[in-house]
């Protein structure tokens, strides 16, 4: 027995030495991922953009809108630029099922040498999780919905300066807007805040909670997992005299179930207040409020989109249109500068320098060093009507 174990140990040691030498050798050899990252790509007639969005799963309604808008941009662009067409490849991040899918999508974009820039991912936690993969592939990625403040500060959730940009104002704009609306317009004195334990939700809930507290509002904070379906115990904790419940969540069907269970607990007099993640037809508890990205429904392009989609605005996806627009323009510029060849790094450089005088969102687009919008308009406040539509109220 001992003799055999000794033999095993010797063999194991020999093999591990061999393996580590091989690994060392290969580590010094050409690295395919960074090869894809550094490689000069011939631009050709078709350039590829990756769109990472939740196309299935509980957040599918918003992800599909993002893909629709990105494709709408590509269709409009391709009509005029036959020799520099844009191709969209999509990756399903399954927001609300698992963050790992976003990482998988990021890896597949990073190793696909045709992809020059990315739109997405949708959720802030997905941005945090997939940063290493995008950085490893030297890809720039522009999210049309990730609003957590610290994504762009370069240290709190990791450093992604020069890689990550977003075409929505961040929660530094959203939180005060929501809190002030609660205090000044709704005149709430007792608010119950429930986050869904995701990076995005916690950040926004913290922000609103701080401002409400400073203004003398009684705030209770609670939290429930994104996977939960029984809310009855949390609802039992909500005091009967609470005026509003703030739910900065990402999954609209969950908000719908929460509203239903609120009714079941005899607390239908309590008003719900959601955030941008819930701006979806899946949430239809009449009387609830919701804050949402700036959009300009009167913009000619937006009107054309609505007309092309049977009167369905799908506004959640409109910042992704701008993200696809920025990606496309940056790729085109980089291709021109590189005389028909470019690299992902060159595209990122062009994204950083991007200046759009106007956009379908109703304001000019250019980015700070961290990747935030320079001139953000503020968030709109909407109320859900009896027929399930969102009506702007402030």
Per CB under 8 A, contacts with other proteins among 146-205 are: 156-158, 197-199
Q: Taking the complex as a whole, how short is the minimal distance between the CB of residue 67 and other proteins, in angstroms?
A: 14
Burial, 386: exposed, middle or buried (Cβ in 10 Å; 0-12, 13-18, 19+)?
Answer: exposed
**224 vs 322 by CB, closer to other proteins:** 224
Q: Nearest to residue 62, comparing CAs of 86, 93, 88?
A: 93
Could you tell me which of 66, 48, 121, 117 has the C-alpha nearest to residue 327?
117
Shortest CB 60 distance to other proteins, Å: 5
Measured from the CB of residue 88, what is the shortest distance to other proteins in angstroms? 14
Position 216 contacts other proteins (CB under 8 A): no
Least distance (Å) between residue 128 CB and other proteins: 6
State which of positions 356-375 bind other proteins (CB under 8 A). none
Q: Measured between alpha carbons, how far is 177 from 76 in angstroms, rounded to an integer?
A: 34
Minimum gap (Å) between residue 360 Cβ and other proteins: 27
320 binds other proteins (CB under 8 A): no
Q: Which of 168, 178, 183, 224 binds other proteins (CB under 8 A)?
A: 224
Verify binding: residue 16, other proteins, rule CB under 8 A: yes
- CB nearer to other proteins: pick between 44 and 57: 57
d(CA 368, CA 362): 18
Considering beta carbons, is residue 34 or 358 the nearer one to other proteins? 34
The smaller minimum CB distance to other proteins, of residues 208 and 238, is found at: 238
DSSP string, 118-166: EE--SSHHHHHHHHHHHHHTT--EEESS---GGGGSSSTT---TTTEEE
Q: How far is the CB of 388 from other proteins (least distance, A)?
A: 10
Are the CB atoms for 212 and 160 separated by under 8 Å?
A: no
C-alpha 394, offset from chain centre: 24
* C-beta of 22 vs 215, nearer to other proteins: 22
Which stretch, 219-227, 300-308, 328-336, 374-382, contacts other proteins (CB under 8 A)?
219-227
Q: Which stretch binds other proteins (CB under 8 A): 31-39, 167-175, 289-297, 364-372?
A: 31-39
Binding mask 61-100 vs other proteins (x if CB under 8 A, - otherwise)?
Answer: x-----------------------------xx-x--xxxx
Q: How far is the CB of 317 from other proteins (least distance, A)?
A: 17
Of residues 288, 308, 245, 293, the one with CA closest to residue 388: 288
- Tokens at residue 31, please? 């690295």
Burial of 161 (0-12, 13-18, 19+ CB in 10 A): middle
| Shortest distance in whole angstroms from residue 386 CB to other proteins | 10
Nearer to other proteins, 92 or 296 (CB): 92
Residues 6 or more apart whose Cβ sits within 8 Å of residue 259: 272, 283, 285, 288
- Sort 5 into a burial class: Cβ within 10 Å, 0-12 / 13-18 / 19+: exposed
Hey, which residues between 125 and 144 contact other proteins (CB under 8 A)?
125, 128-133, 136
CB of 153 to other proteins, least distance (A): 11
- Of residues 65, 72, 189, the one with CA closest to residue 122: 65
Are 371 and 382 in contact by the 8 Å Cβ rule? The answer is no
Q: How far is the CB of 324 from other proteins (least distance, A)?
A: 20
H-type alpha helices, the chain: 2-28, 32-38, 60-80, 100-111, 124-136, 171-180, 199-214, 232-237, 252-264, 300-308, 318-337, 344-353
Quote the CA–CA distance of 278 and 260 in Å, as a whole number.
15
Within 282-311, the residues that bind other proteins by CB under 8 A are 282
Burial 247-263 (b: 16+ CB within 10 A, else e): bbbbbbbbbbbbbebbe
Measured in whole angstroms, the distance separating CA 57 from the mean position of its chain's CA atoms is 15
24 binding other proteins? (CB under 8 A): yes
**For other proteins, the closer CB: 89 or 303:** 89
Q: How far is the CB of 108 from other proteins (least distance, A)?
A: 5
Residues numbered 226 to 285 that lie near other proteins (CB under 8 A) are 226-230, 232-234, 236-237, 240, 251, 253-254, 256-257, 260-261, 263-268, 282
Scanning 15-23, 316-324, 358-366, 370-378 for contacts with other proteins by CB under 8 A, the matching segment is 15-23
């Amino acid at each position: 027995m001992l003799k055999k174990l000794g033999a095993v140990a010797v063999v194991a040691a020999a093999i591990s030495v061999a393996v580590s030498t091989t690994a060392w050798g290969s580590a010094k050899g050409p690295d395919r991922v960074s090869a894809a990252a550094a490689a000069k790509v011939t631009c050709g007639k078709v350039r590829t953009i990756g769109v990472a969005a939740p196309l299935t799963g509980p957040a599918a309604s918003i992800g599909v809108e993002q893909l629709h808008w990105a494709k709408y941009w590509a269709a409009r662009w391709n009509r005029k630029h036959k020799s520099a067409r844009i191709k969209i490849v999509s990756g399903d991040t399954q927001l609300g099922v698992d963050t790992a899918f976003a990482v998988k999508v990021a890896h597949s974009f990073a190793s696909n040498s045709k992809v020059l820039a990315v739109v997405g991912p949708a959720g802030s936690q997905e941005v945090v999780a997939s940063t290493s993969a995008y950085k490893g592939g030297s890809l720039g990625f522009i999210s049309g919905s990730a609003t957590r403040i610290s994504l762009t500060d370069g240290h709190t959730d990791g450093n992604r300066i020069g890689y990550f940009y977003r075409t929505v104002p961040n929660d530094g704009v959203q939180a005060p807007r929501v809190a002030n609306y609660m205090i000044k317009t709704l005149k709430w004195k007792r608010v119950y805040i429930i986050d869904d334990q995701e990076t995005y939700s916690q950040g926004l809930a913290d922000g609103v909670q701080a401002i409400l507290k400073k203004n003398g509002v009684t705030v209770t904070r609670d939290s429930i997992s994104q996977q939960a379906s029984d809310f009855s115990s949390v609802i039992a904790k909500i005091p009967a005299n609470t005026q509003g419940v703030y739910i900065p969540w990402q999954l609209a069907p969950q908000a719908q179930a929460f509203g239903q269970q609120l009714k079941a607990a005899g607390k239908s007099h309590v008003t719900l207040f959601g955030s941008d993640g819930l701006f979806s037809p899946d949430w239809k508890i009449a009387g609830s409020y919701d804050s949402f990205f700036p959009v300009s429904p009167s913009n000619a392009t937006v009107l054309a989109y609505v007309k092309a989609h049977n009167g369905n605005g799908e506004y959640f996806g409109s910042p992704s249109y701008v993200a696809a627009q920025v990606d496309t323009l940056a790729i085109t510029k980089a291709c021109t500068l590189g005389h028909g060849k470019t690299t992902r790094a060159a595209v990122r450089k062009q994204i950083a320098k991007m200046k759009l005088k106007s956009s379908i969102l109703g304001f000019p687009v250019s980015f700070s060093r961290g990747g935030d919008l320079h001139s953000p308009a503020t968030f709109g406040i909407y109320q859900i009507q009896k027929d399930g539509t969102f009506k702007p109220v402030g």
